[in-house]
Amino acid sequence: MAALKGSEIAEHNDAKSCWVIVHGKAYDVTEFLPEHPGGQKIILKYAGKDCTEEFEPIHPPDTLDKFLDKSKHLGPVDMGTVEQEVKEEDPEEAERLERVAQKPLLSQCYNLHDFEAVARRTMKKTAWGYYSSAADDEITMRENHSAYHRIWFRPRVLVDVENVDISTTMLGSKSSVPFYVTATALGKLGDPEGEVVLTRAAHKHGVIQMIPTLASCSFDEICDARKGEQVQWLQLYVNKDRKITQRIVQYAEERGCKALFITVDAPQLGRREKDMRSKFTDPGTNVQEGQETDNSQGAARAISSFIDPSLSWKDIPWFQSITKMPIIIKGVQRVEDVIKAVEAGCQGVVLSNHGGRQLEFARSGIEILAETMPVLRELGLENKIEIYIDGGVRRATDVLKAICLGAKGVGIGRPFLYAMSAYGQPGVERAMQLLKDEMEMNMRLLGCNKIEELNSSLLDTRALFTHSSTPPDHLFGSAYESLATPAQRPKSKL
Amino acid sequence: MAALKGSEIAEHNDAKSCWVIVHGKAYDVTEFLPEHPGGQKIILKYAGKDCTEEFEPIHPPDTLDKFLDKSKHLGPVDMGTVEQEVKEEDPEEAERLERVAQKPLLSQCYNLHDFEAVARRTMKKTAWGYYSSAADDEITMRENHSAYHRIWFRPRVLVDVENVDISTTMLGSKSSVPFYVTATALGKLGDPEGEVVLTRAAHKHGVIQMIPTLASCSFDEICDARKGEQVQWLQLYVNKDRKITQRIVQYAEERGCKALFITVDAPQLGRREKDMRSKFTDPGTNVQEGQETDNSQGAARAISSFIDPSLSWKDIPWFQSITKMPIIIKGVQRVEDVIKAVEAGCQGVVLSNHGGRQLEFARSGIEILAETMPVLRELGLENKIEIYIDGGVRRATDVLKAICLGAKGVGIGRPFLYAMSAYGQPGVERAMQLLKDEMEMNMRLLGCNKIEELNSSLLDTRALFTHSSTPPDHLFGSAYESLATPAQRPKSKL
Amino acid sequence: MAALKGSEIAEHNDAKSCWVIVHGKAYDVTEFLPEHPGGQKIILKYAGKDCTEEFEPIHPPDTLDKFLDKSKHLGPVDMGTVEQEVKEEDPEEAERLERVAQKPLLSQCYNLHDFEAVARRTMKKTAWGYYSSAADDEITMRENHSAYHRIWFRPRVLVDVENVDISTTMLGSKSSVPFYVTATALGKLGDPEGEVVLTRAAHKHGVIQMIPTLASCSFDEICDARKGEQVQWLQLYVNKDRKITQRIVQYAEERGCKALFITVDAPQLGRREKDMRSKFTDPGTNVQEGQETDNSQGAARAISSFIDPSLSWKDIPWFQSITKMPIIIKGVQRVEDVIKAVEAGCQGVVLSNHGGRQLEFARSGIEILAETMPVLRELGLENKIEIYIDGGVRRATDVLKAICLGAKGVGIGRPFLYAMSAYGQPGVERAMQLLKDEMEMNMRLLGCNKIEELNSSLLDTRALFTHSSTPPDHLFGSAYESLATPAQRPKSKL
Amino acid sequence: MAALKGSEIAEHNDAKSCWVIVHGKAYDVTEFLPEHPGGQKIILKYAGKDCTEEFEPIHPPDTLDKFLDKSKHLGPVDMGTVEQEVKEEDPEEAERLERVAQKPLLSQCYNLHDFEAVARRTMKKTAWGYYSSAADDEITMRENHSAYHRIWFRPRVLVDVENVDISTTMLGSKSSVPFYVTATALGKLGDPEGEVVLTRAAHKHGVIQMIPTLASCSFDEICDARKGEQVQWLQLYVNKDRKITQRIVQYAEERGCKALFITVDAPQLGRREKDMRSKFTDPGTNVQEGQETDNSQGAARAISSFIDPSLSWKDIPWFQSITKMPIIIKGVQRVEDVIKAVEAGCQGVVLSNHGGRQLEFARSGIEILAETMPVLRELGLENKIEIYIDGGVRRATDVLKAICLGAKGVGIGRPFLYAMSAYGQPGVERAMQLLKDEMEMNMRLLGCNKIEELNSSLLDTRALFTHSSTPPDHLFGSAYESLATPAQRPKSKL
């Protein structure tokens, strides 16, 4: 088959006949347009053109093979004949590249905050918008971290802490640390290699990785990157088409995944305004409509239309029938639902508000944990289920507080993404090492040798439920015009 | 009758004989001067001149017909003969017009805060002053919003939320949403068409509108703008002259209003210093008096002198005798008075502090609601009366919290005014659509399908009554001189 | 006696022979030097010179007659022969005078904060330093105001509030309002006429005035300024020499003072660092000592060395034996001492921390009041004594909260000083009028007609005792170096 | 022995043969390299060169005699022959020297904050980094001070306070004040003379000094500086080699130390990021590694590798067997461990989190004290042990609060270091005098004559345990990108 010419493809540039180029091959997506989860608008923008750059980070490489009939694969393109789009010079992008050139050395990053600060300065605006954004006024996202600040330690002294061991067991697997890499979508927005970077770093440090449904890499790529006894779990968004879900789950088990985390806090993916704003491009001056609110809603919603909002407790037995992996409900937010999970025979729950990206004013995982454990103990259920939490973790002290309160492990998402986006795999490794160093030291300072010695008597949580100092509402505050005392009068001109 | 000449009118330019031009017609207001609710000073400023621009936004069009005897209507003016006042160039106004030209696209507004931010930049200073101002240090106004931040959610997961219905019933009428457009005065300050803009937008979205006593449009105009089954309610300031009140109420019932909201939190309309300051114009350098404090008190007080401060619970039976509309007491602020309203046979109350515009440090509606419902339930009164609240709402989560606590509906005022002021009817419609989108999504994330499923077990309100982090007192803070550590010494000149 | 020449006086310019000129007359103060309460250093600075300007604001005019033997009064000076000191141009003073020229019109001041803001810009630095300063980190001074913000109202509605009466009775005297002008020292720092300005304004508004021991005007001048039925009280610092105290008290009673307020919270007058800093003048570059900490301690300490720190409860009967005026203990700070005051037969107490000028972290008057009244009621003592408070009042709502809690009246000090310093008597009058207007309106909005109707059911004080959001520690904060994320690296020079 | 030449020494410039010059003498440290507690890297930087300046502040003068075999002492160097390193001009250092030249006069410092502010501006960056830094986000360090702000006074009035005595007894020794100079490391970073400056100032003011293990001066120098009846205590880091510890303890007793404070909150010395950042020097552009996290960890860790992490309660009897000094456990952080200390027969504990330098979110000493005393009293143990606290003290009110709660004394560390660094011995003396002045005055204002009269009824501690307003997390906050309302659009170019 002779390579196609750019001019041929360029003729198929509208909804009637829509061809696009991806990685040097042409595809006829005309019939696929109405099915595209992200809407047809975004594809039509590239009708007759090369859309590789836009396509790459948000689609696993096997996407076209999986979802587009072979008959629509038009074959290789002579890329020399494709007209290069002359990009306008973008002063913002130029400034960003300058910031990249001047970024601090990796060895200057001393904690997880530092990676976020560097990533914020060096990531592309839209990628930063997707990773960093959260629901509504992002109060919940910040509360996730702030909540840890309302817990204080009651350390023991004069304990022999020469040897400290921070390894533990989660869902039957050994882990060198009581935290894991939780699932986050679209890794290629941060690093061209995507999630496998996290896999490799996790291997080096003996950290468990949870594989996201919405990865940029294909599931197989991420499994293939696994080494030795490395442990991976599967995070699952449940598809409206249960056959697809069954195929994903059973394939994951086959490929060696050790646990199934079913996400339940996202029957609809949240609106994230920072993400939406970062995507905004001015359509010109005469456009004044705007009543439709469902367009340009950011990356999150573009990729999630398949998620089944009808998923319910009734579906759990079916999952138990199709897999032997332990089943963990991810996104539980009240003790009543933890008890339901026990009753449903689940092996674990993740107390989480999805990184503050879904329901604004959902409480932090650490607060739900503090509500949950005493009730479980009262009911004698504390050993019937493993409790995990995620959200807002930046310091080893945060992890230790969760373990003291009764969590088996703590998921960390954005910080590793930021470390990867800023410095690639070495960044993620340093982030993990810093956490380990902090954790080992803080175990000593708490007077504990092993994870099992951590308990709630080491904490003062009296202030945890006092929400009186909520993170500030920046939009409300900036819209408000402060009162002012009377101004000076202008100087008389006489 | 021959058209009057500008020069003729210009001769009647003082309190002895005072003529003014409105919409091309002349009026003799000499005898009316002492009766003018806004004081004679403001009229005398325009004696012998055209005052249309000033008159327009704060008087319904039927004002002159209603309140000025026909004998004082002097007939049409030959406007070509009226001297045009040469306006001085106002650099502030020029800057504002530039901001208007550069305002964001409507589609860039993602939430209700955004409309306020745009309105603040683009409205005339005095109009902004009237809409945005509140009592004293505006702590109450800000608390109204902040109070919502002390309530957190306890969502349910694994509930089938494929179908979500946010429609409800208020006072016997269907509403597509559990919020309504509450009454706010002087709509023409925001849009030349005034309140009818809100009526039209409310119709599009199936939202109930409360018609204000102090509208810029005439009552009939607002009723006439109603379409189909659209529902309107009447907000009432009770006049010292009860005959006027009776006429208003009975006419409203006749014109199809479905409920009567009697405002009781404003026996005297509040001082609003931001409004007062926005009106201040320098009278020249030699003026040093200032002991009189009742002049230039802003738009609010100018238009409200008719309100009867003697209104009391004893008057309620009289209202019940003149109308069949359900009667709702608007502005209740303690549970004791809710119980009195039940005893008086009222159909509802609005727990409200008048948007923070009346008594500073009056508690927010949401806090009064949380105080009220448990008491009503204990007394078995929770179904005897419908409870509404307003104030501070900016997000669907705010509305949902109120409904969870037991409110039937939530009034929203300023945000719709800001949306109208910034973008006209499309602005109001987008604001309503954004709220609906947020609300539908958040119902899903709460694990609820219908309004009736919302209940207080979905909330954590433990922090609500903790007022320890009150909004800052900007005037006190800016008057205070912070302590400083010792400064560097000047460099020696040697 | 021939007038003295400047050159004669200039010869007596040291501690051996020290003459000074005050208001055109010469005095030999050589022997008085060691007795001067403010130390000899400050006098010696003016030895042989005219010290009128420095002397004036901090000494009542009868000082020299009272405290310096007639033999040391050297008679009139031919002022034409006195060398005029050429003042260096002071750029700070020039800027201040410019600010004075541009100060806002009085009618632009809408509340008490505004006067403070204007006074801060227009007063001399040292005068501002004396009035505005408080103890240590000035946290107490700010807490005095903040404490009011932790109290919220529970207003009643549908009460006939056509007529509102804010007059009351304090210690048997009628007052048009439930606040009074409390005693503050050194009025001439704010206005050349001093305290009589307050007397005149107080008369116009029917407000009671408390006369300070440390007034700039003489006691007689302040009494003489009284008109008609105007009421004055005496504030007393008790002298180590009880005969002086007896003379002051009995003379005050004779001159018609209606009550005696004995200040007990100042056995030693506080250090006020803002005041001290405002006085600092650089003594040159080679001075490096500084271990002595008792020099240049600001105006407060200079004038207070006579106060008796040994004053105790045992002295109260003696006061009762020398006067028939009601005796009020000013500066009580715990309920135990209120009970002691009842037992000692006192007619009242002022719950006060001296405007935050004495003990840092002494609680606010309003908080002590909320602690006190329930205990008094439990003991059946609530009518045995009148309770007053002062400190931090800026709004009528503050006053109303105090009255609701059980205070008979509220003292206001600094705000009236600031109003006087910024605008003289018209300023004080406007300040009083503004408070009255606010108070009348807020009585209506609370649903109360008379002062007696104010009670604690109108308040929500649950948050009052929660000190979690203390005013910020500016010195600690500015000395602290915030952590920073890693900085960008310098651009490579290649 | 002829003096060595610079050129000879310069030949021994690597790990194979490494000579260095200290104070004009040469040393062969080749074999010592691997044993150096601070790592060999830092020594090799100076191989063949003069390292006096770097060596001086962090090694006591007897270090080389004690730890380097005499055979390696190579004798005097002809310093004229040593090549002077030409220092690059450092603009930061130049700015610092300018700040030093312009620093305020000592007499302008009115409180302990002021010394810190001056020290921050005038100290070398690395020295400031070592003194001022604390653990993680430095929230604990700031909480140490903030915690005092949640305690308010309930002073007594009308008490004869003419005479006030602030002297007390600690561990059997008289002290003129209820505070002491606590142990802090590396005094020569602040002043070339080091800890003896503190000794001399402490003598002048009758203040007890605790001698640090990690002093820059030798232990003997500090003892020798003692005068008269001056009291010193020994702070001890316990060495892995107990023989060294025994020697230190017994020698200290011999030299007259009156108490032994065993530090137990530092089994591993904390990471302090401000310190680490202050040391960072850019190694050039091609360095991108950084996974190793244990290098360049600041001064603290370099000097502390000898500390024994296996120290436990079992070791206490051994200490009791080798010394008669009272034994005090320093760094206790929970009431359970205070009780253990009583049971172990210890004479005291210091409730402390090591100035916030060790475990982040360890509670402040004052809070642990408030938890401890009621329990001790309930158990009848309050007189069995003396309780000390340290951390965050800046004002006499802080000290008084601790004494009221039951502490025998309060340790003050950084503030005296800052005073010394900014102004040398006169600075420390002024700091002590200021505290004494504040304390005497505040005793009066509290209505107390003697330390023994201070008790908890003088305090309101209800808010102490409410951690709702934790000091801000600056790193988290600066990494977070605030939401913004929509921006203005660019001006059209038409």
Chain C residues within an 8 Å CB radius of D274: 481, 483
Task: Assess contact for A269 and A304: CB atoms under 8 A.
Answer: yes
Exposure string over D164-185, b if 16+ CB within 10 A, otherwise e: bebebebbebebbbbbbbbbbb
Supply the pLDDT for residue B290. 41
Contact D488 B114 (CB under 8 A): no
Q: Which residue of B has its CA nearest to D120?
A: B485
The ipTM, to two decimals, is 0.88
Q: Is C421 on the interface with B (CB under 8 A)?
A: no
Which residues in chain B have Cβ-Cβ distances shorter than 8 Å to C159?
Answer: 312
Can you give the pLDDT at residue D100? 93
Q: Where are the domains of chain B?
A: 6-81, 129-268+302-465
Confidence tier at B286 by pLDDT (50, 70, 90):
very low
Residue B485 to residue D117, Cβ atoms within 8 A: yes
- pLDDT score for D304: 67
- What pLDDT is stored for residue A401 in this prediction? 98
CB–CB of B110/B434 below 8 Å? Answer: yes
Beta-carbon contacts of C281 under 8 Å, excluding residues fewer than 6 positions away, are: none
Fold of D6-81: Flavocytochrome B2; Chain A, domain 1 (3.10.120)
- The residue among B473 and A387 whose pLDDT is bigger is A387
Which residues numbered 210-269 in D keep a CB inside 8 Å of some CB on C? Answer: none
**Residue numbers in D near B489 (CB within 8 A):** 102-105
CA distance, residue D336 to nearest chain A CA (Å): 8
Distance CA B106, CA B427 (A): 7
Look up the pTM and report it.
Answer: 0.90
CA distances from A459 to A449, A466, D362 (A): 17, 16, 9
Nearest-CB residue to A287 (from B105, B152, B160): B105
Q: Report the distance separating Cα A110 and Cα D277, nearest Å.
A: 8
CB contact under 8 A, B488 and D99: yes
- The answer to whether B331 faces chain C, any CB pair under 8 Å, is yes
Residue B104: which of D101, D110, D489 has the nearest Cβ? D489
Three-class SS of residue C125? helix
Has residue B213 got a pLDDT over 60?
A: yes
* Interface mutation vs chain A, best among B107, B148, B165, most A CBs within 10 Å: B107
CA–chain centroid gap for C367, Å, is 21
Taking the CA of residue B196 and the nearest CA in chain C, the distance in Å comes to: 31
Rounded mean pLDDT of B367-381? 97
Q: Is D109 on the interface with B (CB under 8 A)?
A: yes
Instruction: Judge whether C291 is closer than 8 Å to chain D, CB to CB.
Output: yes
- Residue B153 is nearest to which of A361, A476, A478, comparing CB atoms? A361
The pLDDT value given to residue A277: 83
Backbone angles phi, psi at D489, to 5 degrees: -90, 150
Render pLDDT for A267-286 as a digit per residue (tens, 0 to 9). Answer: 988 888 888 888 765 444 33
Any CB–CB contact under 8 A between C351 and chain D?
no
Domain D129-270+304-464 has CATH 3.30.70.580: no
Which element (helix H / strand E) includes A386?
A: strand A386-390
A261 CB neighbours in chain B (<8 A) are none
| Model pLDDT, residue C290 | 42
Torsion of CA B24, B30, B31, B33, to 10 degrees: 90
Distance from D119 to chain C by nearest Cα, in Å? 9
Q: Does residue B296 surpass a pLDDT of 80? A: no
Q: Scan residues 175-214 of C and list those with Cβ closer than 8 Å to B.
A: none
Sort out which chain B residues have CB atoms less than 8 A from D490's CB and list them.
102
CB contact under 8 A, D488 and B102: yes
> In degrees rounded to 5, what are phi and psi of residue A7?
-65, -35
Compare CB distances from B463 to A312, A334, A468 and report the shortest one's residue: A468
Residues of chain A contacting residue B415, judged by C-beta atoms under 8 Å apart: none
Residue B287 has pLDDT above 70, yes or no: no
Q: How far apart are CA B238 and CA B244, in angstroms?
A: 9
C237 belongs to the catalytic site:
yes
D482 touches chain B (CB under 8 A): no
pLDDT (tens digit per residue) in D190-229 = 999 999 999 999 999 999 999 999 999 999 999 999 999 9
A137, A354, A388, A418: which is the annotated catalytic residue? A354
| Cα–Cα nearest to B177, from B458, B442, B463 | B442
Residue B149 annotated as catalytic = no
Q: Per-residue confidence at A302, pLDDT binned at 50, 70, 90?
A: low
The per-residue pLDDT for C477 is 75
Any chains having at least 3 CB pairs less than 8 A from chain C are A, B, D
Please give, rounded to a whole number of angstroms, the shortest distance from the CA of A468 to a CA of chain C. 9
- The topology (CATH level 3) of A128-277+301-462 is TIM Barrel (3.20.20)
Q: Rounded to whole angstroms, how far apart are CA atoms C323 and C246?
A: 9
Q: Which helix (H) or strand (E) holds C390?
A: strand C386-390
Q: What is the pLDDT of residue A469?
A: 66
Read off the pLDDT of each residue in A171-192 and give the average, rounded to a whole number: 96
CB contact under 8 A, D487 and B104: yes
The answer on pLDDT for A287 being more than 60 is: no
Instruction: Decide if B424 touches D, using CB distance below 8 A.
Output: no
Residues of chain B with C-beta less than 8 angstroms from the C-beta of C107: 280, 287, 289-290, 295-296
**A289–B contact, CB cutoff 8 A:** yes
Judge whether A265 counts as a catalytic residue: yes
Determine the average pLDDT of the residues in A188-212. 97
What is the sign of the dihedral through the CA atoms of D91, D92, D93 and D94? Answer: positive
Asked whether residue D251 carries a pLDDT value surpassing 70, the answer given is yes
| Residue A289 confidence (pLDDT) | 41
**pLDDT tens digits, one per residue of C350-380:** 999 999 999 999 999 999 999 999 999 999 9
CB-closest option in B290, B333, B465 to C157 = B333
pLDDT at A382 over 50: yes
Structure tokens at A290: 């705007």
Q: Using DSSP, state whether C27 is helix, strand or coil.
A: strand
Residue C285 has pLDDT above 70, yes or no: no
Q: Which of A105, A445, A478 has the CB atom closest to D485's CB atom?
A: A478
What's the rounded Cα separation, in Å, for the pair C327 and C263?
11
The minimum CA-CA distance between C236 and chain D, rounded to whole Å, is: 14
Nearest chain D alpha carbon to A286: D492
Residues of C numbered 457-476 whose beta carbons fall under 8 angstroms of chain B's beta carbons: which are they? 460, 462-463, 466, 468-469, 474-475
In angstroms, the separation between the Cα of residue D57 and the nearest Cα of chain C is: 23
Q: Which residues of B touch C401 (CB under 8 A)?
A: 361
Q: Provide mean pLDDT across the span D311-338.
A: 97
* Residues of chain B with C-beta less than 8 angstroms from the C-beta of D466: 468
DSSP, res C71: G
C480 in contact with chain D, both atoms CB, cutoff 8 A: yes
Residues 360 through 379 of chain D touching chain A, CB cutoff 8 Å: 360-363
User: Is residue D171 pLDDT above 70, yes or no?
Assistant: yes
Contact yes or no for C105 and B470 at CB 8 A: no
Q: Could you say which of B354, B390, B398, B423 is catalytic?
A: B354
- Give contacts of B313 with chain C, Cβ < 8 Å: 158
Do the beta carbons of residue D392 and residue D144 sit within 8 Å? yes
Residue of C105, C111, C444 with shortest CB distance to B290: C105
Tell whether domain C129-269+300-467 is in CATH 3.20.20.70.
yes
pLDDT at A280: 62
For CA atoms B437, B443, B444, B445, the dihedral sign is positive
CATH of domain B129-268+302-465: 3.20.20.70
Which of these ranges, A100-104, C294-298, D24-28, has the smallest mean pLDDT?
Answer: C294-298
Residue among D120, D153, D437 whose CB faces C479 most closely: D120
Mean pLDDT of B388-411: 97
| Per-residue pLDDT reduced to its tens digit, C315-341 | 999 999 999 999 999 999 999 999 999
Mean pLDDT of the residues in chain B: 90
Instruction: Quote the percentage of chain B above a pLDDT of 90.
Output: 72
Q: Which of A442-456, B415-429, D78-92, D427-441 shows the lowest per-residue confidence on average (mean pLDDT)?
A: D78-92
Using the Cβ of A414 and the Cβ atoms of chain B, whether some distance falls under 8 Å is answered with: no
* pLDDT band of C303, cuts 50, 70, 90: low
| Burial bucket for residue C92 (CB in 10 Å: 0-12, 13-18, 19+) | exposed
pLDDT at residue C287, as a whole number: 35
Which among C12, C145, C203, C354 is annotated as catalytic?
C354
Looking at residue D300, its pLDDT comes to 54
Q: How many CB atoms lie within 10 A of CB A445?
A: 29
Sign of CA dihedral C384, C389, C395, C401: negative
Higher pLDDT, C66 or C20: C20
Q: Are the C-beta atoms of residues D198 and D181 closer than 8 Å to each other?
A: yes
**How far, CA to CA in Å, does A416 sit from each of A413, A422, A428, D457?**
6, 10, 6, 51
Give the pLDDT score at D168.
98
